[in-house]
């Protein structure tokens, strides 16, 4: 996989620095094919590599307990920047920066951004190194460019699937956002968190496009889920077991709120939130997901019962309105 920087020298250096004898390699799904090659690099550095075959969807998912149970002394976590850290096991983050050029896609985006003069810029960790170049292109085109830095993520301008604090921090100062990177996932998160028109400069397909139709479709689905959940008599409140998804206090607050509104609420702990695991409880009518809000957004396609984010749940039980929730965003930050 030539399109990404896997920082092989960093991996070797960290193994030597930590004195690691056994290393757990964690890769997200799209980068798993690199596992055996990186295992060879680990072995050359004198440590026993073990590749995690478990799913790894985000920076929240650092396999600390699994590493300890394997007797490993270092995690090499590929594809994400640091988001959560455990003091129990040293972790090296290999961010897998993309080597693809972005200028053609950004120049196409300039045409779409013509109605707007103030533009917020954001990207995933794979393309952070392009932000200066993108900023220059937009500035040359007459735009005032803002890049947010709320301090919750590793880098200014960075977004991850459940944390859009860098864009919400500048949303009131811009008219639209440009996301640099592939796919619709992050741009959808930006527009759902800020309510601003959002465009994608996709360097893999060399094209730019708007996410706004997709966002409208998603909002309709979310409203339908909330309406279905309004009649629920019993809620399952999901607590994630992954390191960065465990929000037990928040789950307890959701349970208390459900009970205040005369609904039953049961805490459900899960590592992977799949229909097979979650839908085994026929007496539960709807779910509130405190683990990963993006699973909720995929819910209408994957789950036969409503799966709400915490903010959506407050609408379902009448603690807030749909309009005020939209101002706050579907996610927490």
CA-wise closest residue to 332 among 197, 152, 173: 152
Alpha carbon of 163 to those of 41, 153, 170, 177: distances in Å?
Answer: 32, 8, 14, 16
Q: How far is CA 238 from the centre of its chain?
A: 18
Residue 251 vs 292, nearer CB to ligand SF4: 292
Residue 196 vs 294, nearer CB to ligand SF4: 294
Residue 293 vs 306, nearer CB to ligand SF4: 293
* Half-sphere exposure for 39 (CA within 13 Å, toward CB): 14
- For residue 245, state whether it binds ligand SF4 (rule: CB under 6 A): yes
Least distance in angstroms from the C-beta of 57 to ligand SF4: 4
Alpha carbon of 292 to those of 16, 103, 287: distances in Å?
Answer: 35, 33, 12
Give kind and range of the element (H or E) at residue 245.
Answer: none
**For ligand SF4, what does the binding mask look like between residues 146 and 185, x meaning CB under 6 A?**
--------------xxx-----------------------
Least distance in angstroms from the C-beta of 218 to ligand SF4: 15
Least distance in angstroms from the C-beta of 189 to ligand SF4: 8
Whether the Cβ atoms of residue 128 and residue 158 lie closer than 8 Å to each other: yes
Q: Which of 292, 297, 310, 316 binds ligand SF4 (CB under 6 A)?
A: 292
Least distance in angstroms from the C-beta of 253 to ligand SF4: 18
Least distance in angstroms from the C-beta of 60 to ligand SF4: 3
Least distance in angstroms from the C-beta of 54 to ligand SF4: 13
Dihedral, CA atoms, 24, 44, 4, 151, nearest 10 degrees?
50
Q: Which residues are CB-contacts of 25 (< 8 A; sequence separation ≥ 6)?
A: 35, 38, 39, 42, 49, 50, 51, 52, 76, 78
Whether the Cβ atoms of residue 195 and residue 172 lie closer than 8 Å to each other: no
Least distance in angstroms from the C-beta of 201 to ligand SF4: 22
Residues touching ligand SF4: how many (CB under 6 A)? Answer: 12
| Parallel, antiparallel or unpaired: strands 97-98 and 4-5 | antiparallel
Q: Which residues are CB-contacts of 249 (< 8 A; sequence separation ≥ 6)?
A: none
Alpha carbon of 73 to those of 25, 62, 147, 244, 320: distances in Å?
Answer: 11, 13, 37, 20, 47
Residue 121 vs 125, nearer CB to ligand SF4: 125
**For ligand SF4, what does the binding mask look like between residues 42 and 71, x meaning CB under 6 A?**
---------------xxxxx----------
- For residue 329, state whether it binds ligand SF4 (rule: CB under 6 A): no
Residue 80 vs 143, nearer CB to ligand SF4: 80
- For residue 187, state whether it binds ligand SF4 (rule: CB under 6 A): no
Q: Enumerate binding residues for ligand SF4 (CB under 6 A).
A: 57-61, 160-162, 244-245, 292, 294
């Amino acid at each position: 996989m030539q399109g990404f920087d896997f920082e092989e020298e960093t991996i070797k250096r960290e193994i030597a620095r930590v004195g690691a004898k056994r290393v757990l390699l964690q890769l997200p799904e799209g980068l798993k094919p690199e596992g055996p090659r990186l295992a060879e690099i680990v072995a050359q550095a004198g440590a026993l590599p073990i590749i995690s075959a478990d799913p790894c969807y985000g920076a929240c998912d650092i396999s600390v307990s699994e590493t300890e149970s394997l007797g490993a002394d270092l995690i090499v976590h590929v594809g994400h920047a640091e988001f959560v850290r455990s003091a129990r096991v040293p972790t090296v983050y290999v961010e897998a920066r993309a080597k693809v050029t972005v200028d053609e896609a950004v120049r196409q985006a300039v045409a779409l951004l013509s109605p707007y003069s103030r533009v917020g810029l954001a990207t995933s960790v794979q393309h952070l190194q392009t932000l200066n170049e993108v900023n220059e292109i937009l500035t040359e085109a007459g735009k005032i460019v803002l890049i947010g830095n709320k301090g919750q993520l590793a880098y200014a301008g960075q977004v991850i699937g459940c944390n859009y604090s860098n864009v919400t921090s500048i949303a009131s100062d811009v008219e639209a956002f440009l996301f640099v990177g592939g796919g619709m996932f992050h741009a959808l998160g930006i527009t759902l968190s800020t309510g601003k028109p959002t465009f994608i400069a996709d360097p893999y397909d060399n094209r730019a496009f708007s996410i706004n139709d997709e966002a409208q479709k998603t909002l309709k689905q979310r409203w339908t889920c909330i309406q279905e959940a309004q009649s629920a008599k019993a809620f399952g409140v999901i607590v994630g077991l992954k390191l960065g998804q465990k929000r037990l206090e928040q789950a307890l607050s959701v349970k208390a709120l459900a009970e205040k509104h005369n609904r039953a609420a049961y805490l459900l702990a899960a590592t992977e939130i799949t229909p097979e695991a979650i839908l085994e409880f026929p007496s539960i009518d709807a779910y509130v997901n405190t683990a990963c809000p993006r699973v909720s957004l995929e819910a209408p396609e994957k789950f036969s019962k409503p799966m709400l984010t915490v903010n959506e749940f407050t609408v379902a039980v009448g603690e807030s309105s749909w309009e005020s929730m939209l101002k706050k965003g579907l996610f927490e930050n």
